[in-house]
Amino acid sequence: MTVLLVNYEYPPIGAGAATATQQIARCLVALGHHPIVLTSGFGTLRGPVEESGVRVLRLNSPRRKREASSVWEMAAFGALAAIRVRQLIRSGRVQAVIAFFSIPCGPVAWWARCGTGVPYVVSLRGGDVPGTEPGLRFVHALLSPLRRKILRGARAVVANSPGLKTLSEC
């Protein structure tokens, strides 16, 4: 099975969720699957590469820092990824999607499912859940209806802890 993993961070870009995405992709390879990671480009890290059996597609997104992304950079990644994900699905290469973070990657997975029926799973990571990052309170309030729609449309929602899962349901 070909599984698309969508995360705006993937090593060497980002932190914990990037590493988690990489490890899950490698486990999928070990299980005989064909993972494709759709992620941000940075500096000279652009375009498609093959890493340990994982196909990594780095988009030409406007990320400026290796360790962090602004809300606007995440939104730009989401827009670019939404275009690319439909191309991947139309090519017949993707049977399932895992979105890391309900926002900004959840909308990409939701969009992928619309009109195609390709199922998706959302992996909550922390900062994407309202109440975990006080500085994002306004963004979370603004995007709350979209986030709820994304979580309802998912085949499954996975959280790092029961507390995070409960908080995401508010």
For 14-23, write each residue's pLDDT tens digit: 988 999 999 9
Q: Identify the domain containing residue 131 by its residue range.
A: 2-168
pLDDT band at 68 (very low <50, low <70, confident <90, very high): confident
| CA 98 – CA 45 distance, rounded (Å) | 22
Q: What is the CATH number of the domain that holds 124?
A: 3.40.50.2000
pTM score of the predicted model: 0.90
* pLDDT digits 0-9 by tens, 71-83: 899 999 999 999 9
Q: What is the mean pLDDT of residues 3-9?
A: 97
User: Token digits for 6?
Assistant: 């969508």
**In sequence order, which residues have a C-beta less than 8 Å from that of residue 36 and are 6 or more positions away?**
2, 3, 4, 5, 54, 55, 56, 57, 88, 93, 94
- Taking residue 138's Cβ as centre, other Cβ atoms within 10 Å add up to 9
The half-sphere exposure of 96 on its side-chain side, counting CA atoms within 13 A, is 14
Q: How many domains does the chain have?
A: 1
Q: What is the mean pLDDT of residues 34-63?
A: 95
Q: What percent of the chain has pLDDT over 70?
A: 88
| CA 134 – CA 138 distance, rounded (Å) | 9
